[in-house]
Structures are given as structure tokens and as C-alpha cells.
Amino acid sequence: MSVMIEVRGVEKSFGHLKVINDCSFNVEKGSITGMIGPNGAGKSTIFNIIAGTFPLDRGEIILDGEAVTNLPANQLFDKGLLRTFQIAHEFGQMSAVENLMMVPAKQAGEQLFTTWFQPARVHQEEAAIRQKALQVIDYLGLGHIKNELAGNLSGGQKKLLELGRTMMTEAKVVLLDEVAAGVNRTLLKDLTDNILRMNRDLGVTFLVIEHDMDMIAKLCDPVIVLAQGSVMVEGSITDIQNNPKVIEAYFGSDAA
């Protein structure tokens, strides 16, 4: 397998507090890689650095062989890197299908000139985007709420809708941030199944931060353990769960 994301010697401080310390790891192309660690380990910070939200102080980020260090999120989006959030960010007063239609960049209807002088082009493109959005809705099993205002959806349905947004682009890699948070067990199974399907059917690479170890066990191989801002260990979920260093990091030396 080739490498989709390379994190090389990354460091990040906030004031005098060093949060990420010489952190290096790879995310292989086509993998579903998990990232776990105790609270304060730096998981969200390294996620935000990769996603272009935080600039790094030192180090390098490589995306599919291309240096993308400190590129902003919109440029990373154009290169195929997307992320979801622990708290879903939907357009509450728009329908589920309209939320998906908002995703594709550089739509003809965004240009005033095209709207005035090429309305047929705008309508044709919008129809094609709507058709794709409906296909994504059906793929995710959300057809029954396609016309419902997104603000009225349950937490799990909003997470599925966020996952659907990533399918509206030519995504290479998706960063999933606490996708299980606030989701009931039934919809969590739907989320997990759809992530596996996207990985298998569409070839999307995933990097997943998650506290739900059952979900990590079902989805992820390998799993990276972060502690004190750097990689402690990496391996299969079975190796991770039996590793004395991981047990100590989570539960203290008395549990090791």
C-alpha cells in the first residue's frame, strides 16, 4: 500500500504549552486508521493541523505525495481531504438533500454573470448535483428524510448527513472526529456500516479519532495511540489493547 498522509516531526505549542511533540506517523492509502489516546493526548490538535485549521510550528504534512504543510482547509478540500466534526455542522433551515447540494465547489450558480446570462447552464448543473445528492441520500439509507429540515434531524442522522457530504466530492481521505458521539446504537451501526462501504466501494481512506473502542475494533486497522503529543505505539486493536504502555497511559501504573 502507498501512503496517503505522512505526518513528519510535527510540533505545535500554544503559548508555553507544547501540545504536539515530534509527532510522526503514516496513514496508508485505502486504510481505515484509528487514532486513540487519553484526554489531553493531542488527538484533536493533530487532526486540526492535518485539516488545515491550525498551523504547525515545525514539521511537515504530505498528502498523497504532495507537501501541504500549513495549507488552509479550503485548499485541502480541493485536493481531496475532508473532515467531519464531533458536533455536526448542518444548515438547519435547509433540507437534507439541499445540504448535500451545497457541497460541490465552484458551481456555476455562484457566479452572478452565469446566473444572468447562462441560466440554462446553471439549471443543468443544479439538476445533476441534485441527482447525485439523491443518490447519496439513498446510499446512506436516508431517503425517508431527504426533504426534512436538517435542523430537525436526530444526532445520528446529522452524522450520516455529514458523511454524505464527503461523498459529494472526489474525496481521497476523510478525517472523522468522534463520529460516535451522541449517536444511538442503531444509527451508530448504520454509520459504521457506511464507513466500511465507502472504504470498500469508493476507495476512500479514513483517519478516525474515536473513544468508542467497539467502533474502533470494528473499523480500524491499524490503530495509532497518542500520548503527550506523540505516537506511543501503533498496531492492531488486539495488540493495542494488550500493550502495557497503553494500559498505563489510560489507567495508571497500578493497572499495568
187 touches 158 (CB < 8 A): no
DSSP E strands in 57-106: the ranges are 58-63, 66-67, 81-83
Instruction: Report which secondary-structure segment, H or E, holds 209.
Output: strand 205-209
User: Could you tell me the residue ranges of all domains in the chain?
Assistant: 3-90+169-255, 91-152
Q: Would the CA dihedral through 81, 84, 86, 92 be positive or negative?
A: positive
Between CA 228 and CA 16 the distance in angstroms is 15
Does residue 12 contact residue 57 with C-beta atoms inside 8 Å?
Answer: yes
pLDDT at 1: 59
Q: What is the pLDDT of residue 107?
A: 83
DSSP string, 135-189: HHHHHTT-GGGTTSBGGGS-HHHHHHHHHHHHHTTT-SEEEEESTTTT--HHHHH
Residue 61 amino acid letter? I
pTM score, two decimals?
A: 0.89
> Which three cell numbers, joined as nine digits, stand for 163?
458523511
What are 157-215's pLDDT values in tens digits?
Answer: 999 999 999 999 889 999 999 888 888 888 889 999 999 999 999 999 999 998 888 99
> 29 — phi, psi (to 5°)?
-60, 130
pLDDT of residue 185: 84
Top CATH class of 3-90+169-255 equals alpha beta
d(CA 187, CA 229): 32
Give me the tens of pLDDT residue by residue for the chain, a chain 256 residues long.
599 999 999 999 999 999 999 999 999 999 999 999 988 899 999 999 999 999 999 999 999 999 999 999 999 999 999 998 877 889 999 999 999 999 988 888 878 888 888 888 888 989 999 999 999 999 999 999 999 999 999 988 999 999 999 999 889 999 999 888 888 888 889 999 999 999 999 999 999 998 888 999 999 999 999 999 999 999 999 999 888 888 887 766 544 3
Q: What gap in Å lies between CA 103 and CA 97, rounded to an integer?
A: 11
pLDDT on residue 255: 44
